[in-house]
Amino acid sequence: MPPGNSPAATRRYRPMMSWSLDVRTVILLLFFGNLVTVGILSAYTRDQGAARPYRLFLISKLIQAAAWALLGLRGEISDLLSAPIGNTLLFIGFSLEAVAFVSPYKQDQRLETLFAVLAGVGSFAFWVFGNTPSQRVAIASLTTIALFGTAGVAILRNHGTSQVRRVIASSYALLCLVLVFRTGSALSGPAETGLMSGNPAQTAAFMTMFLFMLLGSTGFLLLMKERTDQLLSEAHRELQAREALLTNVFNTSSVAIFVVDSDGRITLANQRMAEMFDRPLDTLIGSLYVDYIDPLERAIAQQRMLALLDNSNAFLKLERQYVRLDGTSFWGLLTGARMYDPGAMAYRLVGVVADISDLKQAESRIREMAQRDPLTGLANRLLFSDRLQQAISVAQRDHSPLALLYLDLDNFKPVNDDYGHAVGDLLLREVAQRLTACVRHSDTVGRIGGDEYVLLLRTMNGDGSAQAIAEKVRQAIQQPFDIENHRISISCSIGVALYPDHGGDELTLQRSADVAMYRAKRDGRNKVRLAEAATPTLPAG
């Protein structure tokens, strides 16, 4: 055996076998891997807000699977399909995948436009300048670097630096570095580098691409889970904030707020209710709501509460009286509504009570002002007329008499002229007090003019009793008045009319008393005169 052909020499001069990769096999794996990803993610449950990223991601995987199929058929189909069209589809798939990765939280129109431009520019460059295999590899690598590099930066810039996003961005960076190495190898290598070349650059690029496909799907799911967790966390924080706000409003409200169950027991109440009802808060919980209502209203309150629970009334608003612990009462404006408690699977009543005692007092004062003479506090013409009508109705029903007295002060004008209107007003008040002192609480005294008064005497026993009271009034008025260091003496003229002798209705009775009062004045003043059975026409003037 020649020396050059010895086994040792053969071993010494055997050429080194470079490690290579069957690129077509990896492309086939990429094709099936994208299809499997589509199948898995299609069945994955996602919320409505994540529908768009999921849709984009699935579409991108379908397009990439189609692209890898065309690329894997290099040599079996036309160069147009396997190169320009295949790579264009791959760029579109990569751009949609990048959009899916960067848009789980919000849609960025400008960023999506940028991805579309990068994919378009890369496709254009591939079609126009991809004349050799090395140029095609370089353009494909640079376009992919631009797409995924932009996506990595956008993920970190737009959504913070969580662990998942850092890992995704790092995988993008690793892929870009490998593609940079692939680009340099394609442009500077001694031989043309094509798609199916099995050199180390191609080996590293396709292995990284395959690894990125596996990690990308997992990373997308983790990113979507992170988004869901973040939304849940934000919703939880917002719920806690709202709960704290509602609790603060509930506890600091100026009105009583409470919840009643189907048995009518209070299950929830705020501090204001405890203060309003003058009871410890813990004693309110579990007690019957109707126990705090005025006893006269409890029965109807129970009926209304049951009607509201039965949805007979969807809403309730009314004024009622409530009872405090010490037995005192107050007016409250109740607003009630029915609500469903899913935890207890039963209906509850939510009630709000506002203390309107001051409002009721103000209304009472307004009514008093509308019905009372502002100077003397006696009934005015409107209130006295109402009282007289009611008294006549009772007298008609019970066949009982009543008396109406018309009183006019004698020589009151000189008092105003000599002492002034302020003294005159004080005198009118004193007269009112004396008139009130001469009658019973069941009777009514009113002032219907400047110095004109009327008295309604109920259940009179004949004209003698009425005239006796009228005489008592006359004598009380003629007693001197000490006002503002002045001693003033006046008198009055009184006309007395009896029901039904001198009138069966309000107007006739008033006219009879008024005519009798004028007759007392004509007879010399400071007199009491009883109306005549046949009432004359009211004199002029």
pLDDT of residue 537: 46
Q: Where are the beta strands (DSSP E) in 356-474?
A: 402-410, 444-447, 452-458
Reported as half-sphere exposure (CB side, CA atoms, 13 A), residue 525 has a value of: 10
Q: What is the pLDDT of residue 65?
A: 92
Which residues, including other chains, have CB under 8 Å from residue 468's CB and lie 6 or more apart? Answer: none
User: 470 near 494, Cβ under 8 Å?
Assistant: yes
Measure the CA angle with vertex 361, ends 385 and 290; round to 5°.
110
**118 in a domain, yes or no?**
yes
Q: Which helix (H) or strand (E) holds 171?
A: helix 163-188
Residue 95 in 3-state DSSP?
helix
Domain limits for position 397: 372-530
Of 232, 248, 274, the residue that ends a domain is 232
- For residues 408 and 344, state if they share a domain: no
Calpha distance 366→372 (Å, rounded): 10
**DSSP character string of 235-286:** HHHHHHHHHHHHHHHHHH-SSEEEEE-TTSBEEEE-HHHHHHHTS-HHHHTT
Strands 528-530 and 491-499: parallel
Residue 11 belongs to a domain? no
Instruction: Say if residue 30 is in the same domain as residue 81.
Output: yes
Give the pLDDT score at 225: 82
**Does 328 fall in a domain?**
yes
In a domain, 227, yes or no: yes
Strands 452-458 and 486-488: unpaired
Residue finishing a domain among 163, 197, 232: 232
Q: Is 37 helix (H, G, I), strand (E, B) or coil?
A: helix
Q: Which two tokens stand for residue 100?
A: 């899916």
The DSSP call for residue 289 is G
Same domain, 107 and 225: yes
Among candidate residues 219, 195, 193, the one with its CA nearest the CA of residue 84: 195
The pTM of this model reads 0.50
Rounded CA-CA distance 485/415 in Å is 14
Residues 353 and 449 reside in one and the same domain: no
Q: What is the pLDDT of residue 160?
A: 58
Q: Tell me the HSE value of 161 on the side-chain side, using a 13 A CA sphere.
A: 0
Last residue of a domain, one of 200, 217, 232: 232
Residues 278 and 219 placed together within one structural domain of the fold: no
> 343 with 420, same domain?
no
Distance of alpha carbon 106 from alpha carbon 300, whole angstroms? 57
pLDDT given at position 344: 67
Q: Give a yes or no: residue 398 inside a domain.
A: yes
Report if residue 433 sits inside a domain: yes
Domain assignment present for 313: yes
Using CB atoms within 10 Å of the CB of residue 6, give its burial: 0 to 12 exposed, 13 to 18 middle, 19+ buried.
exposed
Does one domain contain both 385 and 349?
no
CATH number of the domain that residue 215 is part of: 1.20.1070
The CATH number that applies at residue 512 is: 3.30.70.270
> Residue ranges of the chain with pLDDT lower than 70?
1-21, 45-49, 104-106, 158-161, 190-191, 312-313, 344, 460-464, 534-541
- Count of domains in the chain? 3
C-alpha of 498 from chain center: 64
Same domain for 152 and 172, yes or no, is yes
CATH number where 301 lies: 3.30.450.20
483 within some domain:
yes
Half-sphere exposure of 4 (CA within 13 A, CB side): 0
- Is 399 in the same domain as 483? yes
Whole-angstrom distance, CA of residue 214 vs CA of residue 185:
25
| Integer angstrom CA distances of residue 364 from 351, 360, 361, 370 | 26, 6, 5, 10
Closest CA to 148 of 201, 109, 101, 191: 101
Q: Work out the number of other CB atoms within 10 angstroms of the CB of residue 109.
A: 7
Q: How far apart are CA 215 and CA 221, in angstroms?
A: 10
Q: What is the pLDDT of residue 433?
A: 96
pLDDT of residue 47: 66
Per-residue model confidence (pLDDT) at position 159: 55
420 lies in the same domain as 337: no
Q: Is 501 found in the same domain as 414?
A: yes
Give the other-Cβ count within 10 Å of 488's Cβ: 19
CA 40 to chain centre: 43
Q: 195 by DSSP, 3-state: which?
A: coil
Say if residue 200 is in the same domain as residue 55.
yes
